[in-house]
Amino acid sequence: MKTYRSSSALGEFIRSRRQRLRPEDSGIEPLPGRRRTPGLRREEVAYLANMSVTYYTWLEQGKELNPSQDILSSIGRALRLSDSEQNYLFSLAEPRPVAAPVSETRSDLPLLRALAGQMRYPCFMTDDSTDILAWNRSAELVLADFGRMPENERHVMHLIFQNENCRKRIANWEAFARYTAAWLRTIFESNKSNPRYLKRFEHLSRVSEDFRRCWELYEVKDHRVFPIGMNLPDGRELRFEIHSAGHVDHDPNLVWTIFVPQVGTDTEQILNELLRADEESS
């Protein structure tokens, strides 16, 4: 794992995107000579982006701190970046204001938990440290028993990459792990001044080979909605689409994640049966 100046992160990102492309993908004739590394050469990207090889090399090496949006747009076109990847590239080049001290004041947890409790679909709310602050009974039945988790383990990084029960529950765990790592990469630059977040990130980087593998794909969150399958103990599978809403209760650091049953499946019926049985047994 490498750290963490924006210029360095920018260089690492465009290098990773360069290495995934082949000349034939970009409509150019390969330069002569044996290729020692996968993907396009720097000279080829510079040609496609209409800039000097020296300047592009400086960007990859983190020596150029202030590339313009026009330059970044040209590189994005050369590297065939998606809209989300292009926006992420812009964010890496933005000047970072001096970070204010991270507040230890928690949000109004009773309010957040009351809001979550009004939902029948599984949901939970997270803060900028990825702590799971509020959830509902559906989430406990489908995903994990958050109430019984040690508080220091009740955060998204641990839940997805270190909680074995949760891993077994998620039918498409590999795809969802990559999605989670892509989300963590997308928010990394804005959160790296948060000691709680950074400590967890660095711990996960040390202990989880799966996380390192997903992180080193250099993917960014590219979908507003993501499909997920959840295995029940009785062998049935629920199929959801994950939706996220930000700025909960006017707090820009809060995200509300909601598991919406996929249309055309029996997930909503099974979920209603689970909740009814749970209410009758309580």
The predicted pLDDT at position 32 comes to 67
User: Is the whole model's pTM more than 0.85, yes or no?
Assistant: no
* Position 98 pLDDT exceeds 50: no
The predicted pLDDT at position 190 comes to 82
The number of folded domains in the chain is 2
Long-range CB contact pairs, 254-258, < 8 A, 24+: 254/107, 254/112, 254/125, 254/126, 254/127, 254/133, 255/125, 255/126, 255/127, 256/115, 256/116, 256/123, 256/124, 256/125, 257/123, 257/124, 257/125, 257/126, 258/119, 258/121, 258/122, 258/123
Q: Of 44, 61, 93, at which residue does a domain stop? A: 93
**Percent above pLDDT 70 for the chain:** 89
Output 164 or 193, whichever has higher pLDDT.
164
The DSSP call for residue 246 is E
* Position 258 pLDDT exceeds 80: yes
Lowest pLDDT segment from 103-112, 150-159, 258-267, 269-278: 103-112
Burial class (CB in 10 A: 0-12, 13-18, 19+), 268: middle
Q: Are residues 83 and 172 in the same domain?
A: no
Residue 18 lies in a domain: yes
Confidence band of 260 (pLDDT split at 50, 70, 90): very high
27-66: per-residue pLDDT in tens? 777 666 666 667 899 999 999 999 999 999 999 998 877 8
The token pair that represents 163 in the structure block: 């909680």
Q: Are residues 198 and 277 in the same domain?
A: yes
Residue 209 lies in a domain: yes
β-bridge mates for residue 230, sequence order:
170, 238
Residue 98 lies in a domain: no
* Position 136 pLDDT exceeds 80: yes
Q: Are residues 204 and 239 in the same domain?
A: yes
Residue 253 lies in a domain: yes
Q: Are residues 200 and 231 in the same domain?
A: yes
Output 100 or 75, whichever has higher pLDDT.
75
The token pair that represents 266 in the structure block: 């029996």
Q: Are residues 86 and 116 in the same domain?
A: no
CA distance 56 to 274: 56
Output 6 or 191, whichever has higher pLDDT.
191
Mean pLDDT of 174-178: 96
Residue 189 lies in a domain: yes
Work out the number of other CB atoms within 10 angstroms of the CB of residue 113.
Answer: 14
The predicted pLDDT at position 4 comes to 40
Q: What are phi and psi of 260, to 5 degrees?
A: -100, 125
CATH of the domain at 238: 3.30.450.180
Q: Are residues 66 and 131 in the same domain?
A: no
β-bridge mates for residue 125, sequence order:
134, 256
Residue 255 lies in a domain: yes
198-257: per-residue pLDDT in tens? 999 999 999 999 999 999 999 998 667 899 999 999 999 999 999 998 878 888 889 999
Q: Are residues 61 and 130 in the same domain?
A: no
| Rounded alpha-carbon distances, angstroms, from residue 276 to 114, 123, 238, 240, 262 | 20, 18, 16, 19, 20
Are the CB atoms for 146 and 185 separated by under 8 Å? no
Q: What are phi and psi of 62, to 5 degrees?
A: 75, 20
Q: Are residues 237 and 138 in the same domain?
A: yes
The predicted pLDDT at position 6 comes to 47
CATH of the domain at 42: 1.10.260.40
Q: Are residues 272 and 174 in the same domain?
A: yes
The predicted pLDDT at position 66 comes to 82
Mean pLDDT of 262-276: 97
Q: Are residues 220 and 165 in the same domain?
A: yes
Range of the domain at 42: 6-93
Mean pLDDT of 100-129: 82
Q: Are residues 121 and 48 in the same domain?
A: no
Q: Of 60, 93, 126, at which residue does a domain stop? A: 93
CA distance 170 to 237: 9
Residue 157 lies in a domain: yes
| Rounded alpha-carbon distances, angstroms, from residue 206 to 139, 161, 221, 266 | 29, 12, 23, 40
Residue 59 lies in a domain: yes
Q: Are residues 115 and 246 in the same domain?
A: yes
